[in-house]
Amino acid sequence: QKEVEQNSGPLSVPEGAIASLNCTYSDRVSQSFFWYRQYSGKSPELIMSIYSNGDKEDGRFTAQLNKASQYVSLLIRDSQPSDSATYLCAVSSFNKFYFGSGTKLNVKP
Amino acid sequence: EADIYQTPRYLVIGTGKKITLECSQTMGHDKMYWYQQDPGMELHLIHYSYGVNSTEKGDLSSESTVSRIRTEHFPLTLESARPSHTSQYLCASSELRGRGSNTGELFFGEGSRLTVL
């Protein structure tokens, strides 16, 4: 079983809609959780970090963490075509980071 | 914005050549990492370091080697490049979020895209 699981997509949403990206992880002692955005041919860019249960909002982005269910999600409100990218969920435990395979998001104009 | 730099950004070389990919960060981070990523594929950890004179192999076996003589510098070397080494190599660094084991955010460089002919 992989440490971090994501649906590979592609997830297609119309411009202005809410995009919902999900991630589950297997290690119960995981301590830190991250969402990265990666455009084709570019390196991953950190969007959000979340460390405790609940919601964390930053602009159009909201990360949600539920440690009991070992579940992390990212909501993107008012999706824009420029949000089209692959979104990587990452989980860290002590000094190691584990990445999901990413969900490809397409925002259609 | 993270200050982590990789050179060269693009490199095309012939089989058998020795190459070194440079990675430097100016954030004073103790932890540095090398990931390998093929187009459209997952990130694979190939090397990491927790500080000066500390290096460990990652989850994906790699013929490359690394060194950590200075905190800010974490170069990766291939003694004899082969076409199977063609890939994108991403360097990253992180710091402790606080005392103890909570891990801070991981920041990536722009990557080095290697093509071996």
A58-92 per-position pLDDT tens digit = 999 999 999 999 999 999 999 999 999 999 999 98
pLDDT value at position B105?
Answer: 85
pLDDT higher than threshold 60 for residue B101? no
Please state, in angstroms and as integers, the Cα–Cα distance from residue B43 to each residue in A34, A37, A100, B85, following that order: 15, 13, 8, 15
Mean pLDDT across B23-38: 93
Whether residue B33 lies within 8 A of chain A, CB to CB, comes out as yes
**C-beta atoms of A31 and B103 within 8 A:** yes
**Which residue of A97, A101, A104 is the best one to mutate when testing the B interface, meaning the one whose CB has the most B CBs within 10 A?**
A97
Give yes or no for B98 touching A (CB within 8 A). no
Give the whole-angstrom CA distance, residue A68 versus residue B41.
29
Determine the residue type at A34.
F
Quickly state the pLDDT bin for B115 (edges 50, 70, 90): very high
Q: Is the pLDDT of residue B116 over 90?
A: yes
In this prediction, residue B98 carries a pLDDT of 52
Mean pLDDT of A4-30: 92
Strand-strand pairing, B4-7 and A11-14: unpaired
Instruction: Verify whether the Cβ–Cβ distance A42 to B110 is below 8 Å.
Output: yes
Say how far apart CA A88 and CA A21 lie, in whole Å: 10
Q: How many CB pairs under 8 A join A and B?
A: 54
**Chain A nearest-CA residue for B9:** A42
Joined together, the tokens standing for residue A7 give: 């649906």
Mean pLDDT of A29-57: 92
Q: Cβ separation of A94 and B31 shorter than 8 Å?
A: no
